[in-house]
A and B are shown apart, each in its own frame.
Chain A
Amino acid sequence: MTPALAIEATALTKRYDDATAVDDLDLAIPEGTVYGFLGPNGAGKTTTMQMLTTLTRPTSGTASVAGRPIADREAVVPHIGYLPEEPPLFEELTGREQLQYVAGLRDLPKREAAARIDELFDRFDLADAAEKRIGAYSKGMKQKAGIIQAILHEPEVVFLDEPTSGLDPRAARTVRETIAHLAAEETTVFLSTHILPVVDELADTVGVLSNGSLVTEGSPDALKRRAETGEHRTLEDVFLEVTSEVDYPEGEVA
């Protein structure tokens, strides 16, 4: 029996005026997968994530996340966590206040939420900064707080937009371990990043988006194997090759 799909998209398309951000995108991502979503700047990765997280309505096409249609925000959002490229945090609040705020919005049981916040602060080495204002956090600390916020409610599908960018090696490792940990717990992780070693290490499946279309998809190993020659390539070679012939028209939207 094939496992159920965590993310399923059919002919997903998003157009802005005359620019096409995402063009006829099909996705079928099984539960528990770590999906590495690659693509050059402006390829449409963020737009895809915003559609899948119900934040942007597609121009045409359909998709469902955790079995719920993305047109139904109320049904989808309890099951997803989203970390946009800019961590969604209030600089004036402390880390703990921020997480309590979001836990309150989600109406998570108080005691359990408090315990989970403590546990996540410990795991991400942020316990000392819990009572400090986010405005005083370093970039890495903000990124970690954003990840905690995205996984606080133990969602089934987590969307992470560049979660390791700007992190020092230790913080980046914590994030990688967290993704591995989530995958081990059968959480589906939709991971958009430019940092290819992260994808190489963690992803079960890699999809490369270029100019709004999926140009290649497969496991990292399969992509790296070149069938004709047997020559071994890096993921970087694959990325450069499949995205090389693309001309970007002006006004392309990310």
Chain B
Amino acid sequence: MSREPAGLDGRTRRTFPRVSNSVRIARVELVRQWRRTRDQRAVQLVALAFVVLFLLVFTVAAGGGAYFAGLAVARGRLSAPLTGAQYVAATAAVFVFFVTAFRTLSQNGRIDHADGMLTTVPHRDVVGGLLLRESAVLFGMAGPPAVAAAVGFAVGSGSPLALVLVLLAALDVLVTSLLAGFVVGLAVKNLLARSAFVARHRVALGALVFLTYMWLVVSNTLGTVVQPLVATFRASPLAWEADLALFGVVGSAAASRAVASVVTTFVVAPVLVALAVWLAGLLWYADPAEGGTTSTRSDSATSGLGLGVAGAFDGLVARPTAQVAVKSWLRARRAPIKLAFVAYPLFVLIQPISETVQTGRVSPVLPPMLAFYGAWATGAAFTLNPLGDEGAVLPTTLTTGVSGRQFVGGLQLAGVVAGAPATAALTFVAALLSPLSLVEAVGMTVAAAVLCVGATGVAVGVGTAFPRFDAARITRSREAVVPSLIGFGVYSVAMGLVGLPGLATQVSAVVDALARIANVAPAAVSLGGIVLTTVVLGLVAWPSVRYAARTFERYEL
């Protein structure tokens, strides 16, 4: 198929998606998404139930809030109702804009089986389908609160007309910001696809963006970035939506601006759709930039390094064990996306790091948090999906005669050798900088190292019991086999329970309280906590490792 002419050159028939095809595509995409969700394990359905519950609460809150706002407006008790409505509209617009842009950038700016789709329908129809799907998801989420708000406001203000006008204004805001987010997402995706520099340094750049974002969050400066955006939206024609929503209820709402807001949407929306069609055409028919995922360059240097690393274990562990560890490292280094999930729970560190940044002093909870997170990550990285991680190679692995103990040991080795020193070092440095004493710092460092070793043992059993074989979509339409959600949950809870005594007894306040209650020296409490965690960890990890090894040896496809 040749590239479609795009832009508003008068040939609107060839610029815009065909509605029937777009609807067809969107419907199939939604059905697929629903069936995928439905076929997931119970945990995903529970997560879905939480979303629905949250939505219900939000809907009730929106309706109630709008009712009281309507009441206040009708009685003239709000000083600047237009400004307030503008803030609501601007916040919703910024939110929808960013969420849509991110979703487009990460996965929804493409369609599955693009080759088949693009040789079946013009690409503009695919764009239409994707936009309709996004709209359906958005209206599914934002629709009920918007309707509740409209009803609430109409009842509160006693103006039936407000029901229609608020809904119309909400529709304007949602459609415009969704289209804008989609266009910006596609534009950024185009930049990424066309820049060799970006393609080559994607991982580093992604980490930079993530760290910047985290920095804005922990240093409490995210607001200063978002506020100008909200202000910009308020200064745009979008602010006229407030006049539309409040027309007839608030005297200062101008009919001219209300009409203008609707006209603006009718003008802007087609332009944005045309832009999306044009950008999607550029993106989907583009040659990928060099240095992308399928590297064709020779890896002899790294292969030599890999062998060198394998040699480091010579005489220490059996050769199959060393090979398993080296294989895990090589795969992780070549495809770091596989380990992205390890960063998910980093948010537990936000609070202590943010406190540290804002006060300039290391918070005493940071070292135990670091130790715990480091141990969790050490176990999760290579050992939380031992069978699924092998992917298509599993039949071969099972029939090489490698023993379960060797296989499991190799995975543990991969995690411990990388994770334990790093975790212990980070914990020690943080503890030294914190108000904790040297004894406490050393105790916590030991606890961190022990936790790391034990974590791999706990993880390998949990991961064997709850394997996951199918690839999950991570980001940027990249797929990787990640541990199952149940595995994640069980492992995290187990680690939390096991690690609690060892880590909690490193914090002075806890130690003092316990020492007073038990009438022993504080140092004894700290030591006792570490011993208790170590013993419990051993009691959990040992059978877990044995179970994993035995299951591997008896595993059937």
Binding site for B on A (CB under 8 A): 50, 53-57, 73-74, 77-78, 80, 82, 84, 86-94, 96-97, 100-102, 104-107, 131-133, 135-136, 149
Contacts and interface: CB of A to CB of B under 8 A. Distances in A.
A136 B296 contact: yes
A104 B553 CA distance: 17
A57 B556 contact: yes
Contacts of A88: 392-397
A133 B295 contact: yes
Contacts of B294: 133, 135-136
Nearest to B324: A105
Contact of B327 (A57, A77, A86, A101): A101
Contacts of A92: 330-331, 334-335
Nearest to A82: B399
B298 A132 contact: yes
A73 B402 CA distance: 11
Given A77-B400, A88-B392, A97-B303, A133 B323 contact: no
B401 interface: yes
A82 B395 contact: yes
A93 B327 contact: yes
Classify the secondary structure of A's interface with B.
mixed
Contacts of B396: 82, 88, 102, 149
B84 interface: no
Given A53-B395, A55-B399, A88-B395, 17 more contacts: A55-B557, A73-B554, A74-B553, A77-B401, A84-B392, A84-B395, A88-B392, A93-B330, A93-B331, A97-B330, A101-B326, A105-B400, A131-B299, A132-B297, A133-B299, A133-B334, A136-B294
Interface in B274-323: 293-300, 303, 306-307, 310, 318-320, 322-323
Contact of B295 (A53, A105, A135): A135
B391 interface: yes
Interface residues of B, number: 40
Contacts, number: 110
Contacts of B391: 90
Contacts of B131: none
Interface centre among A80, A102, A136 (most CB of B within 10 A): A102
A86 B396 CA distance: 11
Contacts of A133: 294-296, 299, 334
Contacts of A93: 327, 330-331, 334
A105 B324 CA distance: 8
Contacts of A132: 296-299
B398 interface: yes
A104 B299 contact: no
B299 A73 contact: no
Contacts of B324: 105
A166 B335 CA distance: 27
A135 B398 CA distance: 22
A131 B303 contact: yes
A77 B403 CA distance: 12
Contacts of B400: 77, 102, 105-106
B402 A105 contact: yes
A77 B399 contact: yes
Given A86-B392, A92-B334, A133-B334, A97 B398 contact: no
Given A89-B393, A92-B335, A131-B300, A55 B398 contact: yes
A84 B392 CA distance: 9
Contacts of B320: 104-107
B408 to A, nearest CB: 13
Nearest to B396: A88
B306 A97 contact: yes
Contacts of A131: 298-300, 303
Nearest to B322: A104
19 contacts: A53-B399, A55-B398, A55-B556, A57-B556, A74-B401, A77-B398, A88-B397, A90-B391, A92-B334, A93-B327, A94-B299, A96-B303, A97-B330, A101-B326, A101-B327, A107-B319, A133-B294, A133-B295, A136-B295
Contacts of B402: 105-106
Contacts of B318: 107
A102 B557 CA distance: 19
Closest 6 CB pairs of A and B: A104-B323, A92-B334, A105-B400, A131-B300, A88-B396, A88-B393
Contacts of B397: 88, 105
